[in-house]
Amino acid sequence: MKKATMTLDRAYTIGSIDPRIYGSFIEHLGRAVYGGIYEPGHPTADKNGFRRDVVDLVKKLDVPVTRYPGGNFVSGFDWEDSIGPRDQRRHRLDLAWYTTETNEVGMHEFIDWCKQANTEPMYAINLGTRGVDAARNIVEYANHKGGSYWSDLRIKNGAKDPFGIKLWCLGNEMDGPWQISHRTAYEYGRVANEAGKVMKWVDPSIELVACGSSSSQMPTFGDWELTMLNECYDHVDYVSLHRYYGNPTNDTRGFLARSMDMDEFIKTVVSICDAVGGKKHSKKKLGLSFDEWNVWYHSREQDEEIIKRSRWDRALPLLEDIYNFEDALLVGSMLITFLRNADRVKIACMAQLVNVIAPIMTRNGGGAWAQTIFWPLMHASKYGRGTALRAIVDTPTYDCEDYEGVPELDTTATLADDGSVTIFAVNRSLDEPMQLSVDLRDFPGLKSVSHELLHHDDVKAINDEQNPDNVTPTPGQGGKLDGGRLEITIPALSWNVIRLTK
C-alpha cells in the first residue's frame, strides 16, 4: 500500500472561504428551465409551475448563488421581454441554441424560484446586442425602491419590494467568435466599463463580474485579460473564468489530472489581474468568478442531431450529459482546486444545475434524481465552509500524456467556525489504496472521526431514474485518531470526506 502524509496547522491558512464558490447556473438552454425547474402540470409542481422535487434536490446542494439567464443565450436577450403579463410576452428565436424562447419564465418568476430554493440571483446582462442604456435600466427595475419609470413598472408588475440583486455579470464569453455580437478585448473593455459605471451609479452596493477568457485554450487568453482590464479595472470586482473538461479517449489517469490545468488557469489570471492593478497603482485586488465549470463532452454528437432535426422547437433536450463515476472524481478535484485558491476564487458556478450538463436530472412528467457529480458538490458545499487550510502534503505522483508529477492523492482541508476540521481527498490511483497520515497536533480536542466515501468498481457507472442510487456515498472504514495524528486508508479511485469534530 502506498503512503502519503498531510500536515495541518492553524497558522497555515489560505483565506476565508466564500460560500459562493458552491454556486450554480440556470440558463435558458435545453431543459434547464422548461422541464427542469419549471413544469406546470407536473405532479410536484406548485401553483407557479415550479417542480418541488427539483427544489428539494437543490436545497440539498445548498446553492448560495445561481447565475441567470445565460450563458450564450444572454447575448441576444432583451430583458424587457421577460417582464409583464405572461400572455403578452414576446416569443423570440434564440440564435445561441436554435430554439424558440417563450419567456414564460422571466425575471419575476426566477426571483420567486430563488426564494424557494434558498439561493441568491447572479444576473447576467446583455453586452452583445445591447449596451449601457439597457444595463442601467435593468438595475433600476430590479433594485430601485420606487418613484422612477422602471422601478414603478416593477411595482406595477407585482413586486412592491426591490429584488435586491447584488451580483451582476457584464455579458458572457465576449471573447468567443460564437458569441452574438462578439467583441474585441478593447471593445468589450470599453462597454463593460461604461455599463458598470452607470450600473453602480444606480446602485452603489452591487458587485460586477467582467468577462475573462472563456477557456485557457483560447488563442487570445492573457492578452484578452490585459487589454479589457486596462479599460474597466476601476469599475469591476471580479474577472470570470470558464473551463470544461472531457475524456473522449477513455484515458482515466489523464482525465483525472485535468484539475492541474484549472489550477494553472487560476494562477495565471490572478497574476494578470495584479499586474494591471499594479500598473494602475490601485489598492484594489480583483477576485475571480469561475462562473462556468464542469465536465462536458458526452452529449456533443447527439446535440448536433437534435438541432438538425428540431431547430426552433421549444426547450430542445440539449447538453444532457449522463455523468459517470470518473466524472464525479474529477469534479471533486476541481472543488479541491477552488479551496486551494480560496484567497482569490470567490465565486464559482457549476454549469449547470438541472438537465443541462447538470448534477440534477429530470424526466418530463416523471422523476428527478441526482447524477454522480451531485455528491462531491453537496459534500463540499455542506462541509467546505470557514477557512481554507494550507495543507502540506507529501504524496506519490505519476506522469501522463499532458502532465508530469500528478499527485496520486489530491487533498486539502478546511477549518469550520466550530473548530471541526474536514479533509477532502481524491485518490487518483486506478488500483492502489493510499495510507494517509495526518498531523493534527495544532488542533487539540478533536475526538470524533467520520468518513464518507464515494466509490464504484466501474468508472463508467451512472445513476438514472431506474437506479438513482447506483453511485452514492457510503460510510468509509473510518480512521484512527491518536495523539494528534490521524491514520486512515483512502481506497483507490475514490472521493473522500473525512470529518474530525470535538
Catalytic-role residue among 101, 292, 320, 326: 292
The residue among 429, 451, 428 whose CA lies nearest residue 438 is: 451
**What gap in Å lies between CA 486 and CA 489, rounded to an integer?**
10
Q: Is 225 a catalytic residue?
A: no
SS3 breakdown of the chain: % helix, strand, coil, rounded to 5? 30, 25, 45
Q: Residue 332 class from Cβ within 10 Å (0-12 exposed, 13-18 middle, 19+ buried)?
A: buried
The residue among 239, 245, 279 whose CA lies nearest residue 259 is: 245
- Cross-strand partners of 481: 486
Catalytic-role residue among 173, 231, 320, 408: 173
Supply 461's cell numbers: 457507472
The residue among 174, 146, 175 whose CA lies nearest residue 159 is: 146
**What gap in Å lies between CA 63 and CA 238, rounded to an integer?**
19
Report phi then psi at 302, rounded to 5. Answer: -70, -30
The residue among 112, 123, 290, 128 whose CA lies nearest residue 213 is: 290
Supply 482's cell numbers: 491518536
- Are β-strands 485-490 and 368-370 bridged in parallel, bridged antiparallel, or unpaired? unpaired
Strands (E) across 30-102 are located at 65-68, 92-94, 99-101
Q: Is 292 a catalytic residue?
A: yes
Report phi then psi at 130, rounded to 5. Answer: -115, -175
Active site residues: 173, 292
